[in-house]
A = this chain, B = another copy of it.
Amino acid sequence: MNDSDEGAGQAAPSRRKDARRNQKTLLDAAAAVFVTSGVDAPVRDIAAKAGVGLGTIYRHFPTRADLIIGVYRHQVDACADAGPALLATSPSPHSALGQWINLFVDFLVTKHGLAAVLQADNTGFEALHAYFLDRLLPVCTEMLEAAAVAGEIRPDTDAYQLMRGVGNLCIGAESDPRYDARRMAELLVAGLRRPHH
C-alpha cells in the first residue's frame, strides 16, 4: 500500500534526507493551508506554500486522503485515547459517550470541510474513511457496549451508524451560524437512550 511511510505509518528512517525534509515541509504547509482554505484547498496552493513542485507532493502523498491523515493523525489518535479515559472517569457510560461524541464533533467542525470528505462514498477518500474507522470505531463500540450493559441505551445500536451519523451532522457546520452540530449530536445520543430506565 504505502511504500515508505505516508498514510498510516509515520516512522521514516530510510529515504533520502531531502525527501524526509520535504515530507515534513509538506505536512506543515498542508496544515496551514487547511486552516485557511479547508481540506479541499487546491493541491497547487499547498505545493506553493511548501515551496515544492507538484510532483513532489504527489510522490509523498499520492491521494489527498494521505495528506489529511498525515496532518490530523495525532488528533484522531488523541480522540481515540480519550474514550477509555472518559469511560473511567465519568459517572455513567452514557455520559462518557456523550462527552466523547462532543470531543469528536469539536474536532470535526474545526477542520473546514473534513466532515464532508469523511463519508465512505467520496471517491478517493477511502483511506481517510478507513483510518477514522480503524481508530475510532473500536472505541465507540466499547462505549456503546458499556452503556448497553448498564442498561442505559437500547442494546441494538450500531457503532458504525452512530459514527457516520455524527460525522454527517458536522458537515458544513463551520459555515452556518444558524446550525449547531454539537446540539444535534447531543440530540442523536439522547435519542438512543432507553425509553425508560
Contact = CB atoms under 8 A, between A and B. Distances in A.
Interface of A: 116, 119-122, 158, 160-161, 164-165, 168-172, 175-176, 178-180, 183-184, 186-192, 196
B160 A178 contact: yes
With a 10 A CB-CB cut-off, give which of A122, A183, A188, A196 has the most chain B CB atoms: A188
Leading 4 A-B pairs by shortest Cβ distance: A191-B191, A187-B191, A121-B175, A190-B191
Contact of A176 (B164, B175, B186, B189): B164
A115 to B, nearest CB: 9
A50 to B, nearest CB: 26
Contacts of A184: 161, 164-165, 168, 188
A175 to B, nearest CB: 4
A144 to B, nearest CB: 13
A179 B196 contact: no
Contacts of A192: 187, 190-191
A170 B188 CA distance: 14
Contacts of A189: 191
A171 to B, nearest CB: 5
Contact of A172 (B121, B160, B187): B121
A196 to B, nearest CB: 7
Given A175-B121, A191-B190, A183 B161 contact: yes
A169 to B, nearest CB: 5
Given A168-B169, A171-B119, A179 B191 contact: no
A176 B161 CA distance: 10
Contact of A187 (B164, B171, B178, B188): B188
Contacts of A164: 176, 178-179, 184
B176 A120 contact: yes
